[in-house]
Amino acid sequence: MVSKALVVAAYQRKLEEIAAHPDVELTAVIPTAWDGQQYQPGFLNGYRTLVQPIRFDGQFHLFHFPTLGRILRRLRPDVVHVDEEPYNLATVLATRQAVAVGARPVFFTWQNLNRQYPPPFRWFEQYVYRHSYHAIAGNAEAVEVLRRKGYFGAASVIPQFGVDPDLFSPASRYAEPPTRPFTIGWLNRLTPEKGVDVLLEAAAQLPGEWRLRFIGSGLLQDAIPDRAARLGIGDRVTMEPAVPSIDVPNRLREFDVVVLPSLTTLAWKEQFGRVLQEAMACAIPVVGSDSGEIPHVVGEAGLVVPEGDAAALCEALRRLMTDPELRLDLGRRGRERALEYFTQASVARRTVEVYRQVMDRRP
């Protein structure tokens, strides 16, 4: 597997789960750093890690591993899983190098908008389509985009990463019930397309005693307090910096609901919403908009409202605030859904099934 995302230690847990399958011998090629994030060794059992330099660090479309061809010639793998979008230079080079040693390439995509890229990226994309044995898509709409753009090979919908259900777990049932006000949680980037303004407008209409906590960083972090003050809710809204991934479960357990009211734009649509699966694993009720993949992630385990509809979002929050039984029910269903679909073990199992299908196909 070739993946820049694996510089993050928590994501490496999926590799341990993949390597635990007896018919898999796994080597991961990971950059020494990506966009300022140094490689963090974390979960390393059962597979080989090759930490390699890259060229054009931080440049999504142009980065690549100059040593990968030599590595593949030495290893002679059966499958090369390129954990990158098909239009990137890293992907087309890895695909060519895989083909050159007789390996079967697999690629990953999140892209759920039918975006047309200029040459040479369009050519990269078409080359990868022609030579890959399987596509793994992080959401259902990404498969539809692949078909419209000319990829007609095998495809599966599998999240790029899951959650650790032992780390992302419900609060102890022996814990004292909270005495704080109803707490609405945000743990995400603070950008317009994530629906920050929609949430503030919804909260401003919400009756009763509540608090809204923003945890994260982004373009709007300085504007949120002013916006909240203008809406008359400045004393109920707090801002907190982004936290390390290991601290995320504890923060989530401090919320009564987690909200992700994403907004579709011409250039972006919600591709997954990782915080939703993390909150569900912690048995925290979730409310999301109907942007992109959110309804598929939430399923029947949370509340989904029309994107951009502050009144509908307010009503969903009001229901949860006034109905403790509904909160408990959605929390239970969320935990069950996360265990079935979104654990690292589940993602790994489905990924290994893709490898088996690739090996069963005739060249």
- What's the CATH code of the domain at 50? 3.40.50.2000
Residue 54 and residue 32: Cα distance in Å, rounded?
Answer: 8
Residue 153 and residue 180: Cα distance in Å, rounded?
Answer: 53
pLDDT per position as a tens digit, 38-61: 999 999 999 999 999 999 999 999
Nearest to 337 by CA among 280, 289, 261, 263: 280
> Which DSSP helix (H) or strand (E) runs through 140?
helix 140-148
Residue 163 has pLDDT above 90, yes or no: yes
- Say if residue 210 is in the same domain as residue 311: yes
Domain range enclosing 66:
5-162+344-360
pLDDT per position as a tens digit, 327-346: 999 999 999 999 999 999 99
- Say if residue 335 is in the same domain as residue 228: yes
Residue 174 has pLDDT above 60, yes or no: no
Residue 84 has pLDDT above 60, yes or no: yes
- Say if residue 9 is in the same domain as residue 144: yes
pLDDT computed for residue 208 by the predictor: 95
pLDDT computed for residue 244 by the predictor: 85
pLDDT computed for residue 246 by the predictor: 82
Residue 335 and residue 342: Cα distance in Å, rounded?
Answer: 10
pLDDT computed for residue 10 by the predictor: 85
Residue 172 has pLDDT above 80, yes or no: no
- Say if residue 258 is in the same domain as residue 352: no
pLDDT computed for residue 235 by the predictor: 97
168 within some domain: no
pLDDT computed for residue 175 by the predictor: 58
- Say if residue 330 is in the same domain as residue 352: no
Q: What is the mean pLDDT of residues 15-30?
A: 98
pLDDT computed for residue 261 by the predictor: 98
Q: How many domains are there within the chain?
A: 2
Mean pLDDT rounded to a whole number for the chain: 96
352 within some domain: yes
- Say if residue 326 is in the same domain as residue 353: no
DSSP labels, 72-84: HHHH--SEEEE-S
pLDDT per position as a tens digit, 191-221: 999 999 999 999 999 999 999 999 999 999 9
Residue 183 has pLDDT above 80, yes or no: yes
pLDDT computed for residue 212 by the predictor: 98
In this prediction, residue 135 has a pLDDT band, given cuts at 50, 70 and 90, of very high
177 within some domain: no
172 within some domain: no
Contact 76, 101 (CB under 8 A): yes
pLDDT computed for residue 362 by the predictor: 79
pLDDT computed for residue 177 by the predictor: 62
Q: What is the mean pLDDT of residues 254-258?
A: 97
pTM: 0.89
Q: What is the 3-state secondary structure (H, E, C) of 127-139?
A: HHHHHCCEEEECC
Residue 235 tokens, joined? 């004393």
- Say if residue 291 is in the same domain as residue 149: no
- Say if residue 350 is in the same domain as residue 312: no
Q: Where are the beta strands (DSSP E) in the chain?
A: 27-31, 33-34, 37-38, 48-52, 79-82, 104-109, 134-137, 155-157, 182-187, 210-215, 237-240, 257-260, 286-289, 303-305
- Say if residue 91 is in the same domain as residue 204: no
pLDDT per position as a tens digit, 261-293: 999 999 999 999 999 999 999 999 999 999 999
pLDDT computed for residue 281 by the predictor: 97
- Say if residue 158 is in the same domain as residue 190: no
171 within some domain: no
Residue 183 and residue 148: Cα distance in Å, rounded?
Answer: 43
In this prediction, residue 173 has a pLDDT band, given cuts at 50, 70 and 90, of low
pLDDT exceeding 70 applies to what percent of the chain? 98
pLDDT exceeding 90 applies to what percent of the chain? 94
11 within some domain: yes
Residue 2 has pLDDT above 60, yes or no: yes
In this prediction, residue 349 has a pLDDT band, given cuts at 50, 70 and 90, of very high
Residue 94 has pLDDT above 80, yes or no: yes
- Say if residue 309 is in the same domain as residue 348: no
pLDDT computed for residue 322 by the predictor: 97
- Say if residue 290 is in the same domain as residue 213: yes
